[in-house]
Amino acid sequence: MLDVAEGRTDHPGVLPIVQAGDPVLRRPAAPYTGQLGDVLPRLLGAMRRTMHAAPGVGLAAPQVGIGLAIAVCEDAGVPDDPRDRHPLPFRVLVNPRCAPVDDTPDVPFYEGCLSVAGWQAVVARHRRVRLTGQDEHGTALDEVLTGWPARIVQHETDHLHGRLYLDAAVPRSLTSNENLLRHFAGDPDPGRAAQELGFDLPGA
């Protein structure tokens, strides 16, 4: 088990993030049934600090080398963003599940991952999902999320099933973070990138 009190990086309390190619990211996480006991709050605190330091908006336990179905997420949001990026308050997801709640077409946007550092690609995801599971206290979660918060929880839930966002991405859309800014000015709408890079937008 990682020493969540000390961390393994130059920043106290911040954990190293496992990168693509490590088998832990490809194994379905074990359901959490209390295996960590009193260590759980320390792990969650370290995961939250690590997510903020990266920076990112979500982090799953396999991304810090722990194969348990636990994730954290938080996003301040971006006003008037075409991705419907409204705030997502900090929350802990334990044994989460996501399911679409209607037949709305999937929405394609560029997406990145702390475990695929430096790259982004277009992924189509459900715009609205029902999130179920528990929080860190064992309290049941059951809510509908829309827009970017829905994308975040789908991304983190994928991690807990051994999936990376690249598995569902449009390969031709892959770009470095630097090129996304250089050529497309970080535009949240992937339409111009689709024209310039020669790919069709999925789900649109």
**In whole angstroms, what is the distance from residue 125 CA to residue 14 CA?**
30
Q: Return the active site residues.
A: 156
Separation CA 80–CA 118 (nearest Å): 26
Tell how far CA 108 is from the center of its chain.
15
